[in-house]
Structure 1
Amino acid sequence: MNKKIFLIFLILVTALNSAYSQNTDKLKWWKDAKFGFFIHWGLYSIGEWNGQPQKGNEHFMFIEKIPLKAYGKIAETFNPVNFNADKWVKTAKNAGMKYIVITAKHHDGFAMFDSPGDNYNIFKTTPYHHDPMKDLAAACKKYDLKLCFYYSLGRDWASPDAAWIKTGSKAGNTWDFPNEETKDNNKYIENKVKPQLKELLTQYGPIGVIWFDTPEGTTPAQSKSLRELILSLQPNCIINSRIGNGFGDYAVSEQKIVKGVELTPWESCITMSGKWGFSKFDKDWKTPELLVRHLVEIICKGGNLLLNVGPDNLGEFPGQSTQNLMEIGRWMKINDEAIYGTKPYSTVSEYALNEIDLKADAMGKSSNDFTSKKINSDLYFNQKGDNIYVFARSWDQDIISSKVLGQIENIDKIQLLGSRQEIKWTLQNGDLMINVPDISKNEIPVYVFKIFLKK
C-alpha cells in the first residue's frame, strides 16, 4: 500500500513539474524578446471630431457622450486604403521588435477584424470590406514576429449588456443604454467576448498573447472561464494580468516604469507621443534618445517594453513615429545583444536619479503618461551568460567611473559594442575606470560596454 501511495505521489509531482516547465517554456520567448510593438487602431483613428481635437483621444466616444448611431457613422467612410501589413511588420522588425500587439477591439466595441459573431466590424460595416488581421498574420509569419491581440474586456460602449457603473468604474455607455439595473455582464461575456476570442484564436494561426484591458467588473469565475477557453484553443498563448483576478501570466505597468527590479514577468506599455490613438493635433513626441533610455531602464529592471504607435484612418504611421523607429532600429542593430535574453544584474543602476516628480513631468493628459522625460548621464547594468553589459545613458564624459563595477575582481577585457577600438580600463581605489573612446557620431548617445569575465 505504501508503495502505491508513493507511486501516486511521484506521478503527481512529475505532473506538476511538467506543468510548471511547460508554463515556463511558454513564457520564455516573451521574456527573451524584451521589445514589442503596440498598435492602437480603430474608428477613433480619424484623428479629430468635427474639426476639433477628440476629447480623450481613443476614449472620445465616452468622454463626449457620442451616441452609438452617430459614432458608428465613422465606419461608413473608414477606408484604410494605405494599410500595408508587410510595411507595418517590417518596420517593427527593423526597429528590433519581436512581437506585435494590435487592438482587435477597443472600448468602442468596434472589431478591427472579420467577426462572424458581431456585424459591428471593419469587414462588414466599412467600404474597406477587408480583414487586416489576416494580412498582419501573414506578415508576422514572414518576418518571424509574434502576432498578439489586444481585447477590451471590461469596457464595450457598443454593448447594451456591458455595465460597469454598479461596479464603481463609471466607464459604461449610459447615454445609449441608461438602465444599468437591467444589464447583464455575464450575457456580454458569453455572447460577445467569448465568441470573438474564439474567432481571434482560430482565424489567424498561432497567437502569442491575448492582451486584455480594463477587467473591471469581471468576476473570478469569468476570468477563470476565459483563461480556460483561451488555453483550450491555443495552449501556448500567453495572457496578461488584465484578464483579472490573478489569472494572468504577467503584470502590466501602463505609462510608467517600476521603481526597482521586478523578477516576476512584467511589461511596461508606453506611448511614443502624447496619445495612444492617432490625433491630427498630437505634437508631444518623445525623442529616440528618450525612448531608448526607457527601453534600457525597463530591461535592466527585468521587464519588457511595449512601445505604442497610433496609425491614422488611412493605415499610415505618423511620420515622426516612423523616423523614431528607424533611429531606434539603427541603435538596436549595434546593441541588441545587450537587450535580448538578458536578465538584471545584482545592481540596477549608478548615478540614476532617485527622486523624480513624475506628475509634474507628465505629458499628454489623455494618455496619463508618467514616464520621466528627464535626461541625465547615468549607468544601467544587466547580464547574459558570463558577460555584464553597462549602458552609459546620455553619456558625455571621457571617463566612466563605477564603484559598482569596481567590485568585480575577474575582469578580462571590455568592449564597446559597435566599435573596434581597444577599450582601456583600470581599477583605482575600488572604482572601475573606463576610457570612453571618440563616439560623438553615434546618433543616440546611449553606449553599451560589454565586460568579459575571466573563466
Structure 2
Amino acid sequence: MSYEVVRTTGDSEWFTNDRFGLFIHWGLYSLGARHEWLQSRERMSPEAYSKYFKRFEPDLYDPELWAKLASDAGMKYFVVTTKHHEGFCLWDSKLTDYKATNTPAGRDLLRPMVDAFRHRNMKVGFYHSLIDWHHPHYTVDPKHPLRFEPNFIAESAQRDFSLYREYLFGQTKELLTEFGKVDMMFYDFSFPAENDLPGKGKADWGSEELVRMIRGLQSHILLNDRLQIGGDITTPEQYIPSKWVQVGGKRVVWETCHTFSGSWGYHREEDTWKSVDVLVKMLIDVVSKGGNLLLNVGPTGRGEFDERAIDRLKGIGEWMKRHSRSIYGCTQAPESFECPPDCRLTYNEQTNRMYLHVYSWPFKNIHLRGFAGKVEYAQLLNDASEIRFKEGFVSSGIEEGAFREGRDDTTLTLSLPVKQPNVAVPVIELFLK
C-alpha cells in the first residue's frame, strides 16, 4: 500500500514523519513593519536603510517562549532566516560587520534560538538568502533595490561577484560548523533575467560546489530545490498543489511554506489573516497529498510574536492536541480508498489506520466507497467515542424502489451523531483490518 517516492540524499525520514514546522522571518525589516521586501519595493539606498540597523534592539526577545509556542502548536521543526535578502545576519559572523552583535541588540540572536528549539526536541533548519543587497560585491539584478539607478548599474559592472560567492560559501561554512547538527538548509532563491538586467542562478552561486561542501560538512542535511540543481525537498510557496508533487514523473518529498497573512516579515497593518479553521484545513490538505506544511511567523522589532500569530498558534495547538495522530507519520491514502465529498483522508502505514477529516459535517451518515470489509473499528479522534457503521447496501425498509444513495457492496456507512464535535475539523479514526 506504499508509494514509490524519489530517494533523497539527506535524511528525510524524520521530515516525512513530522509534517509540520515553523518558519521565522526576522530581520531589520521588522522595524519598517511593512513587508520584508520593503528595501527593494521602495528602492531604498543602503544609507536610507541603515536607520533600521542603528535601532534594532529586540529587548523582549524570548526564544524559550518562541519554542514553547511552536511546540505547543504541534510543530516539530523550525527554519529561521539567518540572513534575508537585506544581508543582515542574526549570528556573530566573522565575515561581516552587518550583524546583530553590532546593533543595539549587542548579541548573537541565532544561538539562543537554536538552543531553545533543540531543548523542545525540535529539528533545526536554517534559511539563508543567496541574495545580498548589502554586500559590496553583490551585483545589480532585477531584484536589487537600486536596479533603476544608472550610477549604481555602472558601478556594479566594476564589482567582482566571485568575492561575493566566496562570502556565501564562507557564511554557509560558519552556519554548518558553529551550531552543531543542522537538519535542513533552505536557500532562497534563483531567478531569470528581466528588464534587460541579468538573473542569477546555479552558475552564479556555484551551486554544485556549494552542495559538495555542505555534504562534506553535514552529510545528513536536507537541502531545498532553489539552488537550481534539484534538492532533497521541492518547495512550492504560498499555494497548495492539487496533488502529490512530482518531478520527472515521480513523486518527491515536498513542503509548502505559507504565511498567516500576506507578509513573511512583521507587517503591522496587514489584515488578511487566515483563521484557525483555514490553517488546520491547510495542514490536513497538505498531509493528505504526502507533503509538509511550513507555517511562518514574522516577529516584531522588539522580539515578540504578533498577538495575531499567537492566537493562531494556540488555536492550531488545541486541535493538534487531540488530532495529531492524523498528521504525524501520515501520508496520502492508497488509491483503492475513495475519499467522500468535502473530506480528506490521511493514512499511517505503520499503525494501519486511516483518518477521515470531515470539513463539512453531514446529517447522520457518511458513505465510504471501497471501505467495506476493511475496517475493524471506528471512533471520533477527539474523544475516542465509538462510531458505529454498516457495510454494503442497507435496506431502507421500503420493498419497492429502495434508494441506495450510491451505495454498493464496497460501501461502508458511518452513523454520525447529529451534533458536530466542538473542534475545528472533526476526525474519524478508522482501524483497518
Tell me if both proteins adopt one fold, taking TM over 0.5 as the criterion: yes
1:8-23 matches, within 5 Å, as: 23=9
Report the CA distance between 1:188 and its aligned residue: 1.0
Report the CA distance between 1:47 and its aligned residue: 4.1
Report the CA distance between 1:309 and its aligned residue: 0.8
Report the CA distance between 1:307 and its aligned residue: 0.3
SS at match of 1:141: helix
1:305 is aligned to 2:270: no
Measure, in 1, the Cα distance between the counterparts of 2:279 and 2:40.
30
More divergent stretch after superposition (339-348 vs 105-114): 339-348
SS at match of 1:81: coil
Distance 1:21 1:301, change over 3 A: closer
Measure, in 2, the Cα distance between the counterparts of 1:196 and 1:89.
25
Distance 1:182 1:439, change over 3 A: farther
Match of 1:35 among 16, 20, 23: 20
1:425 is aligned to 2:389: yes
Measure, in 2, the Cα distance between the counterparts of 1:35 and 1:283.
24
1:449 is aligned to 2:424: no
Match of 1:413 among 364, 370, 377: 377
Q: Give the conservation status (yes or no) of the 8 Å contact 1:108–1:156.
A: yes
Distance 1:283 1:21, change over 3 A: closer
Question: Scaled by the length of structure 2, what TM-score is found?
Answer: 0.85
CA-to-aligned-CA distance 1:154-194 (integer Å, 9 cap, x gap) = x21112322353xxx4546434832243333332111x211
Give the number of aligned pairs. Answer: 393
Q: Give the conservation status (yes or no) of the 8 Å contact 2:224–2:234.
A: yes
Report the CA distance between 1:401 and its aligned residue: 2.2
Partner of 2:277: 289
Measure, in 2, the Cα distance between the counterparts of 1:379 and 1:401.
13
SS at match of 1:273: coil
Which segments of 5 or more consecutive residues in structure 1 lack a partner in the other structure?
Answer: 1-19, 49-53, 353-376
Measure, in 2, the Cα distance between the counterparts of 1:412 and 1:82.
52
1:124-273 matches, within 5 Å, as: 124=102, 126-153=103-130, 155-163=131-139, 165=141, 169-171=142-144, 173-174=146-147, 175=149, 177-179=152-154, 180-190=156-166, 192-216=167-191, 217-220=200-203, 222-246=206-230, 248-262=231-245, 263-273=251-261
More divergent stretch after superposition (316-325 vs 224-233): 224-233
SS at match of 1:289: helix
Report the CA distance between 1:37 and its aligned residue: 0.1
Report the CA distance between 1:140 and its aligned residue: 1.8
Partner of 1:114: 92
Match of 2:39 among 61, 72, 89: 61
SS at match of 1:380: strand
Measure, in 2, the Cα distance between the counterparts of 1:398 and 1:117.
65
1:384-399 matches, within 5 Å, as: 384-385=349-350, 386-399=352-365
Measure, in 2, the Cα distance between the counterparts of 1:265 and 1:219.
21
Report the CA distance between 1:399 and its aligned residue: 2.1
Report the CA distance between 1:340 and its aligned residue: 1.0
Q: Give the conservation status (yes or no) of the 8 Å contact 1:163–1:172.
A: no
Name segments (4+ residues, structure 1) moved above 6 Å. Answer: none
Measure, in 1, the Cα distance between the counterparts of 2:312 and 2:69.
11
1:18-97 matches, within 5 Å, as: 23=9, 26-48=11-33, 54=34, 57-97=35-75
CA-to-aligned-CA distance 1:389-444 (integer Å, 9 cap, x gap) = 111124353322232xx344221111211223221111233332212236645231
Measure, in 2, the Cα distance between the counterparts of 1:173 and 1:208.
35
- Larger RCO: Structure 1 or Structure 2 (Cα < 8 Å, ≥ 6 residues apart)? 2
Partner of 1:361: none
RMSD (CA atoms)? 2.1
SS at match of 1:215: coil
Report the CA distance between 1:324 and its aligned residue: 0.8
Measure, in 2, the Cα distance between the counterparts of 1:271 and 1:222.
30
More divergent stretch after superposition (198-207 vs 169-178): 169-178
SS at match of 1:183: coil
Q: Give the conservation status (yes or no) of the 8 Å contact 1:101–1:149.
A: yes
1:338 is aligned to 2:326: yes
SS at match of 1:379: strand
Q: Give the conservation status (yes or no) of the 8 Å contact 2:61–2:302.
A: yes
Report the CA distance between 1:341 and its aligned residue: 1.3
Measure, in 2, the Cα distance between the counterparts of 1:417 and 1:273.
29
Measure, in 1, the Cα distance between the counterparts of 2:8 and 2:234.
19
CA-to-aligned-CA distance 1:53-104 (integer Å, 9 cap, x gap) = x3xx111101111110120221111100111010001111111101110111
Which segments of 5 or more consecutive residues in structure 2 lack a partner in the other structure?
Answer: 1-5, 192-199, 246-250, 394-406
Q: Give the conservation status (yes or no) of the 8 Å contact 2:340–2:368.
A: no
Measure, in 2, the Cα distance between the counterparts of 1:131 and 1:23.
31
Measure, in 2, the Cα distance between the counterparts of 1:73 and 1:399.
61
Question: Scaled by the length of structure 1, what TM-score is found?
Answer: 0.81
1:436 is aligned to 2:386: no
Partner of 1:360: none
Match of 1:276 among 247, 254, 264: 264
Q: Give the conservation status (yes or no) of the 8 Å contact 2:340–2:367.
A: no
Measure, in 2, the Cα distance between the counterparts of 1:105 and 1:76.
17
Report the CA distance between 1:214 and its aligned residue: 1.1
Q: Which has the higher helix share?
A: 1
SS at match of 2:241: coil
**Sequence identity, in percent?**
33
